[in-house]
Amino acid sequence: MSYFAHETAVIDEGCVIGEGTKIWHFSHVMPNCTIGERCNIGQNVVVSPEVKLGNNVKIQNNVSLYTGVECEDDVFLGPSMVFTNVTNPRSGVNRRDQYSKTVVKKGASIGANATIVCGHDIGQYAFIGAGAVVTKTVPAYALVVGNPARQIGWMSEYGHRLEFNANGLAVCPESAQEYKLENNLVSRIK
């Protein structure tokens, strides 16, 4: 086995788990999941059937990832955040054939206790504040907070708030990477 699973973790049949991944206490990885290399899955995490995780995904304690969720490389999921997978759930109505897909793009971070309503993708390097309730698609590099979540700014790939000048340019204070804001979209200048 090229990954670590705590003795209390449950890993069902048909999962593919990458080298160097760690799965901690009381977590349950359900059938047919794909988990990349060097992931860290904290305590009491549920990874539902057919969920896909890229490389270096960090999942904090008490997170639920339901069928239909896909996280690309370098995603951070904060403590007790949750994804939904049905827009109109009812206990007496089976909607297993109506799961909506949600993709969390490379490098995005989702804060503690945030909720991502299904069918709304999270753009690369977006930053979802703690407790936010995301009810619409979030653009790349966006900073969103609140309930319902609203955008209040832009973030660098290193997790710093970007301040754009009159020419629509910003520089990350930690990495010195440069960014351009154009037509209400941010891109990194290579």
Q: Is the peptide bond before 148 cis (omega within 30 degrees of 0)?
A: yes
Give the separation between CA 127 and CA 147, rounded to whole angstroms.
15
What pLDDT score was predicted for residue 98?
Answer: 87
What pLDDT score was predicted for residue 131?
Answer: 98
Residue 1 has pLDDT above 80, yes or no: no
Rounded to two decimals, the pTM is 0.96
Encode pLDDT of 55-97 as tens digits.
999 999 999 999 999 999 999 999 999 999 998 999 999 988 8
CATH code: domain 1-88+98-155 is 2.160.10.10
What pLDDT score was predicted for residue 122?
Answer: 98
Give the separation between CA 57 and CA 65, rounded to whole angstroms.
13
Encode pLDDT of 118-168 as tens digits.
999 999 999 999 999 999 999 999 999 999 999 999 999 999 999 999 999
Residue 102 has pLDDT above 80, yes or no: yes
Domain ranges of the chain: 1-88+98-155, 158-190
HSE value, Cβ hemisphere, 13 Å, CA-based, for 160: 14
